Amino acid sequence: MKTWLKSPLTWILLACFLMALFALSGLAKAADEVVQFPESELARESVLPVFDQPEAVKKRFVPTEGRIELGGFFGTSLNDPFLYSYPVGLEVQYHLSEIHAFGLMVVGYANSNTGYVSQIQGVNGATQKIPFTQNPSPTFTTLAEYEFTPYYGKISLTKQSVLNLNISATARAGMLNLSAGGSSATGGLGLNERFFFTRNFGIKLDLSTLFYTKPDVLGGSGTTTTVTELFITLGAVWLLPTL
């Protein structure tokens, strides 16, 4: 017998070779097998469990259903080229549910001319052609409103505290008084967001439009124009505790 067969290292290498060969043969056999799982145990496209009536929010920190909401706000107009209007108002709403609410809003306005008026007045006696002093401005509005709230959620800005919030859309209709002594039917749409600090108190940011008709100082005597005013307001809201 050859001397290399008598070496312990030779037998160790041979044993390792045989073990590796056995392991590879087992892997080859496993690769040919098809592993099947019951369909109920496979992952689905959605990881959410199936409910008969799914609820997006299980427990609201700020419930609104059946509650009266009081609010006050102030703001500014954004798009009138000749007038700055600053609304200051009060609002009361009754929430029929977490989604639907009806309310009443009263608004007063402070007004001033924009810088364009002084620029135009200084060009070739333009005051004789455009009577800015007769340009009517809104003074007071009473509006009934309907509010639809499809979204309620939470947000954390500092990772130390959580703000509860909701996003709503509003439709409004009512009457508007003008500085020239007239009045106009008015209506509007709005989109607002509330941030609640407690179950009862929060702030409200509102972007809204207001449509109304007034005399047109650019079109001559007896002409009218339909105005679309865009307002942004910020206010505080207080939800009265339920009885």
In this structure, which amino acid lies at residue 171? A
Structure tokens belonging to residue 10: 């030779």
Is the pTM higher than 0.75? The answer reads no
- Per-residue pLDDT tens digits for 141-187: 999 999 999 998 888 777 777 889 999 999 999 999 998 778 999 99
Mean pLDDT value of segment 66-88 = 93
Name all domains of the chain by residue range, CATH numbers in brackets.
Answer: 68-239 (2.40.160.20)
Q: From the CA atom positions of the chain, what is the Rg in Å?
A: 36
Strand partners, 93: 69, 103
pLDDT at 12: 66
Measured at the CA of 155, the angle between CA 207 and CA 168, to 5 degrees, comes to: 30
Contact 75, 86 (CB under 8 A): yes
Give the CA distances from residue 150 to residues 64, 72, 166, in Å, rounded to whole numbers and listed in that order: 13, 23, 8
